[in-house]
């Protein structure tokens, strides 16, 4: 019941740390999604010198609208034989630069974490989160609790890739015959829920009497993700081509002709049976409940008020928070500050400055494709490549560096050239004159075809809510107001 499932579900983690262990000690798993094999996981556990080292490496190959994308991840955790944390490392490679996180727990119980993102190191020290477990500690707890049906328990785990503590709930289910790549075995169903980014993600993990994971199943983005124990040959065999982005497209029952030029568009979002939608109410969109769980979302873009001063010195808590640097929005990095000054030029008005930043990012990113999994603002500034997420994170960072509060927004947008199909998209919002204003550098403009489903600082855990939303609803009605 280890952490690789969580990273696979998010499809955003990393790889590159090797573990010193005999090859025969490694365990392999195939990763399947959307009906095809998309990757593999290699898991190694070694015991030496009174310490236990647990390493999980993952490689996932996907296609996004025909563009291949490979995500490589590795996490290594070192603990005492009793499951006491000693150190950890995480490397995330999503197509530009590897994001690295290392941590050490000292004899005084304090945790020192160093992260390197876009070549910029950051270090912080804090007390080890009380009660938080790593891989060996989780395994020891699982064995101590046993596999009696109906057993429930909770614990906390520290996720190196997220640099956060996550709450975990476990429920032991019944034993039943389970097919694992053609082999049928009597396995116990264990439901594990990770509470991340204000959302819960539940996997059903099937384990044998020795507490070994043989299969894990997770619903996500309207599909099913599976992790299946297998031999090395099958795990490393060629992957299938699965275009997961196409499976996340949403087709409207009514055409959206002229919606891009409309003052407002109202959408009726109908969830799949058994699902509940959560859609944020923002300055650019209002949300109300309809019959049968339908969310009625009116998108009405807010024009940027003129005359707003910069840098922002107001008291709005969300706005003030949206001026701070994060791992992905590195607004305090010297190259970002220099680029913000260049983009803003002599603009004194916040609305004019934000528009200049949007235009700068649109022109700065030369290679616009889907070959990058997810890059930080600093990586994007350097590489000059990426898709909508890279455009959005760089706009947010440059705005913050210029003293304009900004955040990332993710949701859906009408696809160029289509009148009825929306696809996943990301853009930025800037706080100008007391309103959050949409800024879309990846497309020509921000308009009423943008449906926001998530806002945040670009941290990976914020995207978990989208995994439970995208693919689980359809658009049944549309009203366009010119």
Sorted by where each begins, the domain ranges of the chain are 4-246, 250-481
Which fold would CATH assign to domain 250-481?
Answer: C8orf32 fold (3.10.620)
Q: Is the C-alpha dihedral spanning 401, 95, 21, 207 positive or negative? A: positive
Mapped onto helix, strand or coil, the DSSP state of residue 409 is strand
CB 252 within 8 A of CB 415: no
For residue 363, the cross-strand partners are none
Report which of 153, 105, 152, 101 is spatially closest to residue 129, judged by C-alpha positions. Answer: 105
Question: Encoding tokens for residue 169?
Answer: 């709930």
The pLDDT assigned to 14 comes to 27
Question: Encoding tokens for residue 176?
Answer: 């039943």
Per DSSP (E only), the strands in 231-304 are 250-251, 264-271, 285-289, 295-299
Tens digit of pLDDT per residue, the chain (482 long)? 443 334 333 433 322 222 233 334 699 999 998 889 999 999 999 999 999 999 999 998 877 777 777 888 999 999 999 999 999 999 988 766 678 999 999 999 999 999 887 677 888 999 999 999 999 999 999 999 999 999 999 999 999 888 889 999 999 999 999 999 999 999 999 999 988 766 778 899 999 999 999 999 988 877 888 999 999 999 999 998 887 777 788 999 999 999 999 999 999 999 998 888 999 999 999 999 999 999 999 999 999 999 999 999 999 999 999 999 998 999 999 999 999 999 999 999 999 999 999 999 999 999 887 667 788 999 999 999 988 999 999 999 999 999 999 999 999 999 998 999 999 999 999 999 999 999 999 998 999 999 999 999 988 777 777 777 888 899 999 999 98
Report which of 313, 281, 305 is spatially closest to residue 435, judged by C-alpha positions. Answer: 305
Report which of 99, 107, 97, 105 is spatially closest to residue 78, judged by C-alpha positions. Answer: 105
Q: pTM for this one? A: 0.86
Question: Encoding tokens for residue 477?
Answer: 């009605």
Question: Encoding tokens for residue 330?
Answer: 């590195």
Mapped onto helix, strand or coil, the DSSP state of residue 466 is helix
């Amino acid at each position: 019941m280890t952490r690789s499932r969580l990273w696979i579900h998010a499809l955003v983690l990393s790889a590159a740390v090797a573990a010193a262990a005999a090859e025969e000690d490694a365990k392999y798993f195939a990763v399947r999604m959307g009906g095809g094999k998309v990757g593999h996981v290699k898991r190694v556990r070694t015991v030496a010198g009174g310490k236990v080292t647990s390493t999980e490496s993952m490689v996932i190959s996907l296609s996004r609208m025909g563009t291949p994308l490979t995500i490589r991840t590795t996490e290594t955790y070192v603990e005492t034989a009793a499951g006491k944390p000693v150190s950890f490392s995480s490397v995330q490679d999503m197509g530009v630069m590897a994001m690295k996180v290392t941590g050490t727990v000292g004899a005084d119980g304090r945790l020192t974490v160093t992260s390197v993102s876009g070549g910029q190191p950051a270090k912080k020290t804090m007390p080890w989160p009380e009660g938080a477990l790593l891989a060996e500690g989780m395994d020891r707890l699982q064995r101590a609790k046993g596999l009696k049906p109906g057993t429930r328990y909770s614990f906390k785990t520290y996720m190196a890739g997220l640099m956060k503590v996550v709450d975990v709930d476990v429920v032991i289910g019944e034993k039943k015959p389970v097919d694992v790549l053609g082999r049928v075995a009597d396995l116990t169903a264990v439901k594990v829920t990770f509470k991340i980014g204000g959302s819960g993600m539940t996997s059903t993990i099937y384990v044998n009497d020795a507490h070994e994971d043989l299969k894990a199943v997770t619903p996500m983005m309207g599909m099913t993700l599976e992790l299946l124990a297998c031999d090395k040959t099958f795990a490393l065999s060629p992957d299938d081509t699965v275009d997961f982005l196409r499976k996340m497209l949403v087709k409207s029952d009514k055409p959206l002709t002229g919606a891009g030029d409309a003052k407002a568009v109202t959408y009726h979002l109908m969830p799949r049976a058994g699902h509940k939608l959560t859609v944020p109410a923002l300055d650019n969109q209002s949300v109300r409940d309809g019959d049968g769980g339908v969310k009625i979302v009116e998108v009405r873009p807010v024009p940027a008020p003129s005359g707003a001063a910069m840098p922002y010195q107001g008291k709005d808590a969300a706005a003030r928070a949206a001026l701070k640097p994060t791992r992905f929005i590195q607004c305090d990095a010297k190259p970002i500050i220099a680029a913000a000054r260049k983009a803003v030029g002599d603009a004194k008005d916040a609305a004019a400055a934000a528009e200049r930043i949007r235009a700068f990012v649109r022109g700065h990113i030369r290679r616009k494709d889907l070959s990058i999994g997810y890059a930080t603002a600093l990586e994007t500034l350097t590489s000059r490549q990426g898709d909508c997420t890279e455009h959005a994170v760089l706009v947010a960072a440059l705005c913050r560096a210029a003293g304009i509060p900004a955040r990332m927004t993710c949701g859906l947008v009408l696809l160029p050239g289509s009148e009825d199909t929306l696809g996943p998209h990301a853009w930025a919002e800037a706080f100008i004159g007391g309103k959050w204003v949409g800024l879309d550098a990846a497309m020509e403009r921000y308009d009423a075809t943008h449906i926001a489903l998530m806002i945040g600082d670009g941290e990976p855990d914020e995207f978990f809510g989208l995994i439970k939303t995208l693919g689980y609803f359809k658009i049944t009605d549309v009203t366009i107001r010119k």
